């Protein structure tokens, strides 16, 4: 298990040192989570866009549970845009906020039909004009649906980027740009998976499992959570959110 962290304080670390340390952390996380990928199920960019919108304020597992029924009934944007509101609400009811989410799906699908011939656009500038789609959702779709590099700054990514001392920004767009500058574009999508998986399993918001962390030696926030290996091991989750 890792010992104390010898990392320089962010105030004295050189830019070159920061880049090297950031990339070392990512390499170790890649070895730790070789199967890291998006934890939402999807078959095409439209499904990915929809399930990402639905994942707000609920868990990926719950979204995955309703996905087969949802897309069996409404497999594409044209079908979903014409869906009866009551039926759509019934399908996604288990996710919570079902009225607002139904409204979002109807507006989103209609916009895809009207503006993009029912196809999901593969440009950030186009995606963020769609109802209910911000940069985070757009980057999820670009990276995982089209293979276009993008950085998805969710709560886990932002928290870990700050704990690792990669940035002190709190605004998601500023975090996106600051962290993106430390890595080659080709690494961005997998970097997001590595940090999100680590945030869900080890580097928790309230009590990170520092004593069981594979990158503790390069983390300036080491000690925010239990450093005793046995105590830390009890905090580690073996999978993503239930």
The residues assigned a catalytic role are: 136, 154
- Rounded to 5 degrees, φ, ψ at 123 are -130, 140
Residue 71: other Cβ atoms inside 10 A: 21
**Range 109-117 contact pairs with CB under 8 angstroms and sequence separation of 24 or more:** 109/74, 109/77, 109/78, 109/80, 109/81, 109/83, 110/81, 112/46, 112/77, 112/81, 113/77, 113/78, 113/81
Closest CA to 166 of 155, 177, 96: 177
């Amino acid at each position: 298990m890792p010992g104390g962290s010898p990392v320089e304080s962010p105030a004295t670390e050189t830019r070159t040192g920061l880049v090297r340390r950031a990339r070392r952390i990512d390499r170790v996380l890649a070895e730790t989570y070789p199967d890291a990928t998006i934890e939402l199920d999807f078959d095409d960019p439209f499904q990915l866009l929809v399930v990402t919108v639905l994942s707000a304020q609920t868990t990926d597992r719950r979204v995955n549970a309703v996905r087969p029924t949802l897309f069996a009934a409404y497999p594409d944007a044209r079908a979903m845009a014409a869906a009866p509101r009551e039926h759509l609400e019934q399908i996604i009811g288990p996710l919570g906020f079902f009225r607002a989410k139904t409204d979002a799906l109807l507006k989103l699908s209609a916009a895809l039909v009207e503006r993009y011939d029912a196809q999901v656009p593969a440009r950030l500038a186009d995606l963020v004009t769609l109802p209910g789609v911000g940069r985070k959702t757009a980057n999820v779709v670009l990276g995982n649906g089209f293979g276009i590099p993008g950085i998805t700054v969710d709560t886990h990514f932002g928290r870990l980027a700050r704990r690792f001392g990669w940035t002190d920004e709190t605004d998601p767009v500023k975090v996106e740009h600051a962290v993106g500058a430390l890595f080659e574009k080709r690494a961005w999508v997998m970097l997001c998976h590595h940090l999100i998986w680590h945030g869900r399993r080890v580097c928790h918001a309230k009590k990170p499992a520092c004593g069981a962390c594979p990158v503790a030696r390069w983390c300036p926030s080491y000690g925010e959570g239990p450093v005793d290996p046995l105590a830390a091991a009890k905090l580690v989750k073996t999978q993503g959110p239930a």
